[in-house]
Chains A and B, each alone.
Chain A
């Protein structure tokens, strides 16, 4: 595991095994030595117990080491350990007693009520959202965290640590990233962990790596291209209706406000469609892309600049009059002053707003989301396309979604994140080849999102997704009415899905029950679980 494995006591002194470790300043990668402290006692005394309780699968797992680093260190049993802990990086500051006191057998007895079914395959789990061993263990651990049962937490985290790996199969990966997030929560190091991880990924971020990841992802999985195709179709059709019906023979101008995190990979196909539609009067297209992040990074700026250059060149090649703007906004998207952006180009252009995974990055605190959507409404756009991931990750307990979440809220968010990201990881696993740097980058990004969800306060979170129904309510409240996708667009989407592997399907959102039309738009489903929602709205 990559993160520092530190435990803090959740309850104060009445615990026998209160174990405090001091914070080490070493980087996360040097933490393997810590595992000795936990591993040694178990190697000899507990193995038989595990064998009985858990079945062969687990036993096999214990012997192999899935962690990529320090495998040799792990498996060297030291029978007489108790007296000689190896605190190479950790300096325990426990009261007097050395490590051995902390590892009384009784304290680490395997919880008898834990009945993990390791044999169930993870693919079944992904569909059901909770069937695999990782899900079970993680949920148990989360419950223990919520109940502040530190002993149990330690036991479970130990197990998870043994089994998890970011380089293994889906179960192991899910276990690894969620464990990292739980750990960050326990040590109240959520925001800091997030910063560290973000800085680490920023170091390797470049135009080339970003491009490769994004394009490969779109080539192998319809997760992002689903939203793109639907949105492009809706935008193009509404523009043509408005421009053509308007009657003026001159080519119209279309301005797109692009709030998305997909690095403009949506637009080349739109440019091509504009170019091939009519040879005579290709409309003028301007795109204003807003990249917002809590902490602006130079790498992202460089990447966007390069993207801008390529887009312009491509537009020139296509023969589409084109203008491209990038806005780097630091802070919450709701703070962006939309009026200063000259979105209508002095009144000559029709405006379309494209929100791909942007709305959930607005903080759920207060009524920011509603305010933001209202601001969009005030722009009087021709159409607003909303593509979001389908998952209810709001900490609902507080009512306004901000501030501290109660234990209930935490468990709910945890369970939901587990379900959603299990599906995500599962789809990545089945779409990409076994070893893929691009998939690793995507998984790490998801891991950061999980840390944000599990260990960081909701008010500062940029990952609090809502369901289609939730967003629909907000959109309607702001004065938008749903615009259904035309048959052509639906056909395009279906044709798109046919180009990918099995497992993906499209579902129309408004199928069920609700006569009020709870959720317009369409869902992309992975193994029949809706994961991405695409919709279009008009004022």
Chain B
């Protein structure tokens, strides 16, 4: 719907990135030679200490440093880094038959075609032992992340597709949802599934249209319960990380969720196996331990106890691809400065608490902030119910909807 430059088919990208030294690389030896600007290998080797990918990445990036470095180290540490010109990357059908002017993407295909004209043809063999180095390709666009050799892609087709997707003109458009694609194969793949995909809300309703699904989801009652459960599962983590998720987010509304940490800690509802989110399931374990440093040690057992349900609840919640955002952005809390920032926020809200009537009591509770909540959370859950039972208006509105 809206211009989204990064919406590319992640599976195909990762496939290509993981392809190791390919015969194809060598076929372009002669034809591409004049257009390549090889970058000297020593430069590349300095990049092995490249900083790790940012914590925010939600999918394994193609050409990510570890993979590439591993790849290259394993196969060929002296790989040649090549930056092709945009013209080359966008060119299709560079090999043209002189008889009928038919264009081909590969020399091999042209040769096979020449057979049909009874022309002499010659299929090249892949020459692997001649000292031809493995080539990795970088994007010529300087603002692009793949411009850097450490993020080079190992596959020529991969870099061509990347260039089209990111920096090329999107010439292919889906009829149903008007999504645009630069690469023909992306477009074809999308058209196959567009409209056939059904969206299921947590409340059980099925939608065939994405926009009505999203609008429904935003106001759905299931959303209310979902968040309540999430908050329940991660009261302490949520108190900290939810604040860092949206720094200017009014804390006033957070206390509203807390009452529900007491009620119905629902067991994992939908075994909604959304395979897109499987990478996320691994992630939560990493940054969370860093949170432990900030919290009193008494609750660490509690935290670790809650860590387990965390991935699954999150994957259940995330029924759209965008949901991955939540997973990634919540882990910024590992950063100590973020934690302190949130602390300041809550203290501010304490001062600003006068505005809202029914919630002042809650605010003063949270005033001691996250730490108190956390310790409360660590004890019997029943305490929560007692804490917040005094605020029926809040629960009332929730219950009604």
Q: Does A pair with B?
A: yes
Residues of A within 8 A of B (CB): 206-208, 211, 215, 218-219, 225, 229, 232-233, 236-237, 240, 265, 267-269, 271-273, 275-280, 282, 284, 286, 302, 305-307, 309-323, 488, 491-492, 494-496, 498-499
Contact B56 A208 (CB under 8 A): no
B180: shortest Cβ distance to chain A, in Å?
7
Contact A488 B219 (CB under 8 A): no
| Distance between Cα atoms of A284 and B247 in the complex (Å) | 10
Q: Which chain A residue has the least Cβ–Cβ distance from B2?
A: A273
| Distance between Cα atoms of A495 and B224 in the complex (Å) | 31
Q: Out of A321, A492, A496, A498, which one reaches B249, CB within 8 Å?
A: A321
| Distance between Cα atoms of A491 and B224 in the complex (Å) | 34
Contact B218 A225 (CB under 8 A): no
Residue among A317, A495, A499 facing the most chain B CB atoms (10 A cut-off) = A317
Contact B223 A317 (CB under 8 A): yes
| Distance between Cα atoms of A34 and B324 in the complex (Å) | 65
B257: shortest Cβ distance to chain A, in Å?
8
**Interface residue B58 (Cβ < 8 Å from any Cβ of A):** yes
**Interface residue B245 (Cβ < 8 Å from any Cβ of A):** yes
Q: Out of A268, A305, A495, which one reaches B214, CB within 8 Å?
A: A268
Contact B219 A318 (CB under 8 A): no
Q: Out of A276, A318, A499, which one reaches B209, CB within 8 Å?
A: A499
A-B contact list, 29 entries, CB within 8 Å: A208-B401, A211-B219, A215-B215, A232-B2, A233-B1, A233-B2, A240-B3, A265-B219, A268-B217, A269-B1, A273-B2, A276-B4, A277-B3, A277-B6, A279-B325, A280-B56, A284-B246, A302-B397, A306-B397, A310-B219, A316-B326, A319-B245, A319-B328, A319-B329, A321-B248, A323-B250, A488-B2, A488-B180, A496-B211
| Distance between Cα atoms of A492 and B179 in the complex (Å) | 8
Contact B249 A215 (CB under 8 A): no
Given A312-B249, A312-B253, A491-B173, residue A265 in contact with residue B215 (CB < 8 A): yes
| Distance between Cα atoms of A215 and B203 in the complex (Å) | 15
Contact A492 B1 (CB under 8 A): yes
**Interface residue B57 (Cβ < 8 Å from any Cβ of A):** yes
Given A268-B214, A279-B324, residue A314 in contact with residue B246 (CB < 8 A): no
**Stretch of B97-105, B277-285, B314-322 that contacts chain A:** B314-322
Q: Out of B3, B245, B249, which one reaches A323, CB within 8 Å?
A: B249
Contact B248 A268 (CB under 8 A): no
B361: shortest Cβ distance to chain A, in Å?
18
Contact B227 A317 (CB under 8 A): yes
Contacts of A314 in B (CB 8 A): 217-219, 223
CB contacts under 8 Å to A, within B44-63, are: 54, 56-58
Interface range for B: 35 or more
Q: Which chain A residue has the least Cβ–Cβ distance from B317?
A: A317
| Distance between Cα atoms of A307 and B250 in the complex (Å) | 16
**A contact patch SS:** helix
Given A240-B3, A273-B2, residue A318 in contact with residue B250 (CB < 8 A): no
Contacts of B54 in A (CB 8 A): 280
Contact B400 A207 (CB under 8 A): yes
| Distance between Cα atoms of A262 and B367 in the complex (Å) | 36
Contact B321 A276 (CB under 8 A): yes
B34: shortest Cβ distance to chain A, in Å?
35
Q: Out of A275, A280, A494, which one reaches B178, CB within 8 Å?
A: A494
**Interface residue B177 (Cβ < 8 Å from any Cβ of A):** yes
A318: shortest Cβ distance to chain B, in Å?
6
| Distance between Cα atoms of A229 and B218 in the complex (Å) | 16
Contact B323 A310 (CB under 8 A): no
| Distance between Cα atoms of A305 and B325 in the complex (Å) | 26
Contacts of A499 in B (CB 8 A): 209
**Interface residue B212 (Cβ < 8 Å from any Cβ of A):** yes
Q: Out of A279, A309, A315, A496, which one reaches B57, CB within 8 Å?
A: A279
